[in-house]
Amino acid sequence: MKLTEESLSSFRVAKVFHENSDKINCFDYSPNGQAVVSSSDDDSIVLYDCREGRPQRTLYSKKYGVDIVKYTHALDTALCSSNKIDDTIRYLSLQYNKYIRYFPGHDKRVVSLSMSPVDETFISASLDKTIRLWDLRVPNCQGLMSLQGKPLCAFGPEGIIFAAGVNTEVVKLYDLRSFDKGPFSNFKMQPDKTCEWTGLKFSSNGKRILITTNGNFIHLIDSFNGVVVHSFRGYNNNKADAVEACFTPDSQFIMTGSDNGKIHVWNGESGIKMAVLNGIHSGPITCLQFNPKFMTFASTCSKMVFWLPTIDDS
């Protein structure tokens, strides 16, 4: 995949899907980029085929609801957090629409799920002010970190390091092999009481961490020293929505949604905005991710939108 400023600026809406009656709250690409799984406030989980550009199947979680959905390493299984009844994480067979395993432990809403890129480990962060370490093969929590505020979590690209964003003010880095000894780095950020952090993401090369907020800016920090490389502004988020931002797979560009249906794209090195893409979203762009393997990305409100470039820059 060769991404340039010209090719990124050429992206246009290719397909729009109306499978949901309410906001899509999360989606995830499969590791091979061939499929998308999405979850919605209407209690549905929709599977999409990226190669054929069509919805494949709709599952329902009427009893528990679904708030976050993440692929495991298998195409036919996913992790789901709940927004009804309890805060247990569930391991779902997408093929049979049955739960393989339950992961109880959190007693408030789970706000982050991150699957290890290399093995069966995953981490979860909750409003109960804990981050828990799990193994897909066993239901018991494998590690517990109690923190001093609302946490977020994300694995690094090699699966050895994970980050915790705590209380919208500090990023802590842990080594998975010695997490019980505490973080090996603490990056204290300039506090901003006008918004909250809503997500953490590592770049694919591991050199940067993207901090998304429900305000009108996102931070790009150096993952080695915590220095703010850029703060990206100039997009609409007047209602304090948790609009998602992402890296392109080559770590070169940063994209974010907005509350007026537009997608803003910056060069991660220079910090210069290089494109504003017009979507057909009627509400805030709640989710935005670039396909890890193919030259396409998706964005959502209550609709799922697939984007393709209109020039060949290969």
209-234 per-position pLDDT tens digit? 999 999 999 999 999 999 999 999 99
pLDDT band, very low/low/confident/very high, at 191 (cuts 50, 70, 90): confident
Residue 180: the pLDDT is 92
C-alpha of 42 from chain center: 19
Query: Who has greater pLDDT, 187 or 83?
Result: 187
Residue boundaries of the structural domains of the chain: 5-308
Q: Residue holding tokens 């502004």? A: 233
pLDDT band, very low/low/confident/very high, at 123 (cuts 50, 70, 90): very high
Residue type, 295: M
Q: Exposed, middle or buried: residue 12 (CB in 10 Å: 0-12, 13-18, 19+)?
A: exposed
Whole-angstrom distance, CA of residue 311 vs CA of residue 283: 28
120: left (phi over 0), alpha (psi -120 to 50) or beta: alpha
253-310 per-position pLDDT tens digit? 999 999 999 999 999 999 999 999 998 898 899 999 999 999 999 999 999 999 999 9
Query: Who has greater pLDDT, 85 or 40?
Result: 40
Residue 160: the pLDDT is 97
Residue 166: the pLDDT is 97
C-beta neighbour count of 30 within 10 angstroms: 22
Mean pLDDT across 115-135: 97
Residue 312: the pLDDT is 62
For the chain, give the mean pLDDT. 95
Query: Who has greater pLDDT, 191 or 107?
Result: 107
Contact in structure between 3 and 294 (CB atoms under 8 Å): no
The correct answer on CATH 2.130.10.10 for the domain covering 5-308 is yes
Whole-angstrom distance, CA of residue 69 vs CA of residue 65: 11
Residue 1: the pLDDT is 58
27-47 per-position pLDDT tens digit? 999 999 999 999 999 999 999
